[in-house]
A and B are shown apart, each in its own frame.
Chain A
Amino acid sequence: MTRPYVSIEAVTRAYPGHVVFRDLWFGISRGEFVCLVGHSGCGKTTVLNILAGLDQPDNGGVIVDGQEISGPSLDRAVIFQGHALMPWMTAEQNVAFALSCRHRDWGKAKLRAAAREALEKVGLGHAADRKPSMLSGGMKQRVGIARALALNPKMLLMDEPFSALDALTRGALQDEVARLVAEAQQTAFMITHDVDEAILLADRILLMTNGPDARCAEVVVNTLPKPRDRANLHRLPGYHALRDHILEFLLTRSRTLAGTRPAEWDPRRPPEVFPAGPPTTIPAAA
């Protein structure tokens, strides 16, 4: 059996008297962008924390690039929901701090140069010397993105990275992330409850039922052509079918399916659906 690049296998997380989710299986191919969509309380953030190594599953495990993970790693960079920048460091120092963890032999000058370069990639070269308190919410999150991408990680983990931003800033950052991830051919996993965000960014969208005892009910394959941009996304054929399918899941089926496990349902292979039409090319995750 060949494993995908990132493989989540039989992962269960439970607290005494409360199963968050059970027997969760999915894989992410190299260079693929996967979004996890579900309501609050279905354990989305727990899934991400387990992938990041910040939380341990009670059963099952995560295998990245052939190795089971045993804790947090520089190879799995996280973009946090709150920007999580250190307020006593400038934007540049925040990125340089991350880089100094990755490259312990680098000198100060080299770290500074690399940090500046990373900030310039997200369009913040001019704000490198500002402390986070002097940056807007969108700029702070850009620094967070620069910090994660500068590490050149095997995979990028994003926990509702834009949920605290206003709609305009969010849109701009979504385009930015789409561009940067495509440029770096970055493997990415993102949690969101913004349907359009998922459609814009993801190759596959995992739909989770409501908790407790949540499960991945369905895998929606996003067959809309790439690269996509927000301005034209809604004109693509299949977009509305895709959006309606996900919305319908979130509005009704996430609730009605909660706690149920149909007899024919195989946790290892949740059904794949193609609301936007059949794939024109072979999907990334075979």
Chain B
Amino acid sequence: MQRQVPFWQSALLAALLLAVCLGAWEVSGGNGGTGATVVDPEYAALVGQAAQSGGQTPFPKPSQIGARLWELLRDPFYIRGTNDQGIGVQIAYSLLRVALGFGLAALVAIPLGFLIGMSPLLSGALNPFIQILRPVSPLAWMPLALFTIKDSTISAIFVIFICSLWPMLLNTAFGVSSVRREWLNVARTLEAGTWKTAFRVILPAAAPTILTGMRISIGIAWLVIVAAEMLVGGTGIGYWVWNQWNNLSLADIVIAILLIGLVGLLLDRLLGAVARLVAWQE
């Protein structure tokens, strides 16, 4: 049994750790180039100011990243042409793709999982397919998706769909198949009928397990969208990261990592709140 620790203690320690890490980074960082390397004058003329750091991009200091973050967050939703859009817009694109892919996966996985959970026959028949397809990286589907769908945005959504599908499918099937025998017997003795039993007994009984699957799915979907957008390009936070890498804007990449983490946390918390709504205890 762990001792209970007051919240302010752990919060204080976390703040302290952050301060120490950022401080050390601030002091040590930013001196990637000392000017020791000789730069070709013609190259210097081409790259201009960058020549001062000896042709190397210095790793940004926390203060520089902070300043850049402020710059980005002051106007997150601007759109200046296809390649210059605010970070809020990029995240919104990513969220939209995740929502569509995840939503479609839920529409398929929950009813199908219900059927698999209720029917041992179907469960046995579909299990080999699920077991083989489930461990496949969703990105492996990308070329096939691009070839058949011929649209990069829809392909990205398809990849999200595929990766969200399995945890929801398996958890729904498991939740439905492990509904207590006695509750089903109650429904039978009450002559509740198939639909009433499904919606009033099995669904609420399995809901916590289904929500766990949805929570795992949304986490994976948010992981995968970054990689998928790096591949398909155009818009989205993954594309933005890749773009900033091409621009060598390392500060932007650090900021993107931070924001991706925060959005992922929010998505998880959102489903966590829904899970609490449907939770029951005996």
Contacts and interface: CB of A to CB of B under 8 A. Distances in A.
A52 B189 CA distance: 7
B189 A72 contact: yes
Contacts of A132: 282
Contact of B185 (A73, A80, A133): A80
Interface string B261-282: 0000000000000000010111
Interface string A15-46: 00000000000000000000000000000000
Contact of A87 (B185, B190, B193, B282): B282
B204 A74 contact: no
Contact of B200 (A52, A78, A84, A97): A97
B258 interface: no
A54 B190 contact: no
Interface string B175-209: 00000101101101111110010001100110100
Interface string A37-64: 0000000000000001110000000000
A277 interface: no
A82 B281 contact: no
A97 B183 CA distance: 12
A80 B182 CA distance: 8
A164 interface: no
B179 to A, nearest CB: 10
Contacts of A72: 185, 188-191
B205 to A, nearest CB: 7
Given A72-B189, A101-B190, A84 B280 contact: no
A98 interface: yes
B280 A87 contact: yes
B205 A84 contact: no
Contact of A74 (B191, B207, B280): B191
A73 B280 CA distance: 28
Interface of B: 180, 182-183, 185-186, 188-193, 196, 200-201, 204-205, 207, 278, 280-282
Given A54-B188, A78-B186, 8 more contacts: A53-B189, A72-B185, A72-B188, A76-B189, A80-B185, A82-B182, A87-B280, A101-B190
